[in-house]
Amino acid sequence: MGELPLTLEGEGRQRILAAAEKLFSDKAFDAVSMNAIALQAGISKANIYHYFPNKDALYLAVLRAASRNLRKLLNDAVDAHGTVVDVLRHFARCHLQALLDRPELVRLVWRELLEKGAPRAREFAEQGFADVFSALVAVLESGQARGELRADFNPALVATLMLGANVFFFQSRDILRHYPAVAFADDPAGYDAGIVEILLRGMIPESSADTVRA
């Protein structure tokens, strides 16, 4: 494949990130060369080094882009709704759909975590995933401060449960289809709605519960 012209600075960077995400997802970090990324992106290897000093920096940039996408989902949910309850419903649904829309990237993250352990996990957190988690915790805390949610639960625990439920669905969906009692394997929106409602029943003050359910 011949080298494609880079008409815009940002276009070249995005082309490299897209190529790197695909190859890292398909073959894992250690199996991908900068030459392969250049070929996939249709540019020279020298152009990659113009943007990224090495493969590890490129890999971390892929992760930063993914975390920014998740943070945007949360920001959009906050901007679209006036109550924390509606923000949580919106974000949970969009977060799960984002996982399902980019399965290769999600599998790449988990493969790297399983193979490389704590050092890689710290890198992931530092590339923005911790920021997304903290922002979700802040949303829950604001609901507590405004009286929309009970004050006697740990918001970090609820954020973990919400995100973890979505990751579990992503990882287990294929086997869940074969469980006789499961009717939601092909209904991610319905699954998320059910999970959030169960969590809300433990978080909403009794005086507000009937109103929220309605």
Q: How far is CA 78 from the centre of its chain?
A: 16
Does 2 have pLDDT greater than 80? no
Where does the pLDDT of residue 120 fall: very low under 50, low under 70, confident under 90, or very high at 90 and above?
confident
Does 114 have pLDDT greater than 90? no
**What is the rounded distance in angstroms from the CA atom of residue 94 to the CA atom of residue 16?**
26
2: CB partners within 8 A, 6+ apart? 42
Where does the pLDDT of residue 146 fall: very low under 50, low under 70, confident under 90, or very high at 90 and above?
very high
Residue in 141, 138, 159, 163 with CA at minimum distance from that of residue 150: 141
Identify the structural domains of the chain with CATH numbers, from first to last.
1-52 (1.10.10.60), 63-202 (1.10.357.10)
Per residue in 199-214, pLDDT (tens digit) is 999 888 876 555 455 5
Tokens describing residue 204? 């909403």
Does 56 have pLDDT greater than 50? yes
Tokens describing residue 18? 């897209």
Mean per-residue pLDDT over the chain, rounded: 88
